[in-house]
């Protein structure tokens, strides 16, 4: 799979306004500021495909990118951002769970978590939903450049052990957009899903 051909298709304000539910789709989800947009840019080798920001909550729309006809990558808005009103958070969570359950073309979910604080309640909720929907998950522990190789490895092992409670197919890898660490492995798993 060539990831470098990714191009922006559309920004959807909600799940009902996404492109037709056909082909293969992989969604990127995670808390605000986890590094979703940065990971998308790194994987597609395009500096500014997805907008990144120091301000959490930057991605408010569902951004749809296409690699080739019928193969899409989706940048979902971050969840759990403190400044978003509680009611909106609940609405988004509900929409997300419906998307995971009902989107036929969704063949894999990338869950991004900062390696320094992974598996918050809301991340666990997401992993639970994915597991219930029998959706394979790649959990990327992002910003792994912030840890030395030793602690980085032990954190990956700890999270791998912790996610076994959800059952299902959850793979855990460290990742750094800044240094390109874990890039080949991430692309390998996404290719697997995109080639089904």
Cα gap 32→35, rounded to integer Å: 8
Q: Which candidate, 111, 109, 121, 115, places its Cα nearest to that of 159? A: 115
- The residues, any chain, with a CB within 8 Å of residue 70's CB and separated by 6 or more, are 22, 23, 24
Residue 174 interacting with ligand GTP (CB under 6 A): no
Strand partners, 106: 25
Using CB under 5 A as the binding rule, whether residue 142 contacts Mg ion is answered as no
Site string for Mg ion, 6-35 (x = CB under 5 A): ------------------------------
- Which position among 18, 26, 29, 37 is part of the footprint of ligand GTP (CB under 6 A)? 37
- The partner in contact with residue 38, picked from Mg ion, ligand GTP, none with C-beta cut-offs of 5 to 8 angstroms by kind, is ligand GTP
CA dihedral 32, 65, 126, 178 (to 10 degrees): -50
Is the CB of 132 or the CB of 145 nearer to ligand GTP? 145
- Binding residues for Mg ion, how many (CB under 5 A)? 3
DSSP annotation of 31 reads: B
According to the binding rule CB under 6 A, does residue 107 interact with ligand GTP? no
Residues that bind ligand GTP (CB under 6 A): 30, 32-38, 52-54, 56-59, 78, 142-143, 145-146, 176-178
């Amino acid at each position: 799979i060539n990831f470098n051909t990714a191009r922006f298709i559309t920004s959807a304000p909600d799940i009902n306004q996404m492109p037709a539910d056909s082909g293969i789709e992989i969604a990127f989800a995670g808390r605000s500021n986890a590094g979703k947009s940065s990971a998308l840019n790194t994987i597609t080798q395009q500096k500014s495909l997805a907008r990144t920001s120091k301000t959490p909550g930057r991605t408010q729309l569902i951004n749809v990118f296409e690699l080739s006809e019928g193969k899409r990558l989706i940048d979902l808005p971050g969840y759990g951002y403190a400044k978003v009103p509680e009611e909106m958070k609940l609405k988004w969570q509900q929409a997300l769970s419906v998307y995971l359950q009902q989107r036929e073309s969704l063949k894999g979910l990338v869950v991004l978590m900062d390696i320094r604080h992974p598996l918050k309640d809301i991340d666990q909720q997401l992993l639970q939903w994915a597991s219930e929907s029998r959706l394979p998950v790649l959990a990327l522990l992002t910003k792994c450049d912030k840890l030395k190789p030793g602690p980085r490895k032990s954190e990956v092992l700890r999270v791998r052990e912790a996610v076994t409670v959800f059952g299902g197919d959850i793979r855990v890898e460290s990742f750094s957009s800044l240094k390109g660490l874990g890039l080949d492995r991430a692309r390998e798993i996404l290719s697997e899903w995109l080639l089904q």
